[in-house]
Structure 1
């Protein structure tokens, strides 16, 4: 049978005495010590920290290796991408300009017949002589005088001789691609007695 507790003891134990500081049973040192002893989550559990250290020790090199492998693969991928872009740029730089230049060259070259005439005051307003290196442009390409005073490079396709001459006149009877040359320009390509030469030409 539990013994009766004296009133003074009850008052002091449960903090009802105004002269003594109140202390709850759950906050007493003995109670806290018992809780720590009974709790499975001990803050200083040596076995727990030993296991944790072992796990970290095992996983650390694995994580380092994975990061290193990923870094190496990423660098390799970047290098391959850079090489692909550089190779593509080099191919475009080397091949494209050559193709464009060849296309323009083919588009600018014309072929026709080369004849000769005695120069006088031409359609471009110039007065020339036999000794001047000038040509009369065919009607289709004269285009109301747009090529006046421009220089053409004429080649005799029979002997590959070349001469430069300035456009100063129009040849209404010449077909497209053909030129009428001064005697001096014609003789630079062939004999006047020939009368007609197979020519090709483009703008200088």
Structure 2
């Protein structure tokens, strides 16, 4: 079985970002629902705000903190996309592939905040 490749970079804010590409044969994109929430101190230990491109993922994807700093490419049903950094674990929604996005990221996929929920496709990104 092929192994995933990993690299780490550090942002100006000092966050370590993990870039992990899936092993050969693993799913490369996931269908889910995105909602939005207000961010502050996150499960990864970082302080984030609503204007940052950040996300919370399900407990299954969060993997006990293993997803902290991973970059996801998220595409809304309108085709608009955004790259977000995983900074938090969601409180658990209906599905493992569902995301909670910051208000800025939710709007970046073409979803108005009044909409509350949006269908998305997401994948792990190299940054």
TM-score (norm. length: structure 1): 0.47
SS of residue in 1 equivalent to 2:33:
strand
TM-score (norm. length: structure 2): 0.75
State the structure with more CA Rg: 1
SS of residue in 2 equivalent to 1:165:
strand
Structure 1 unaligned regions, length at least 5: 1-102
Aligned to 1:145: 65
Q: CA deviation at 1:172?
A: 2.3
Structure 2 unaligned regions, length at least 5: 1-22
Q: 1:128 aligns with which of 48, 67, 70?
A: 48
Q: 2:90 aligns with which of 171, 174, 181?
A: 171
Q: Give the Cα separation in 1 of the matches to 2:32 and 2:26.
A: 15
SS of residue in 1 equivalent to 2:69:
coil
RMSD over equivalenced CA pairs, Å: 1.6
Q: CA deviation at 1:123?
A: 0.3
Report the structure, 1 or 2, having the larger helix content.
Answer: 1
Aligned to 2:27: 107
- Count of aligned pairs: 101
Q: CA deviation at 1:108?
A: 1.9
Q: 1:200 aligns with which of 101, 112, 121?
A: 121
Q: Give the Cα separation in 1 of the matches to 2:38 and 2:87.
A: 13
Confirm whether residue 160 of structure 1 aligns to residue 79 of structure 2.
yes
What do the CA deviations read for 1:136-182 (whole angstroms, capped 9, x no partner)? 011111110101011100011x2111100000000022221010000
Aligned to 1:16: none
SS of residue in 2 equivalent to 1:108:
coil
Aligned to 2:9: none
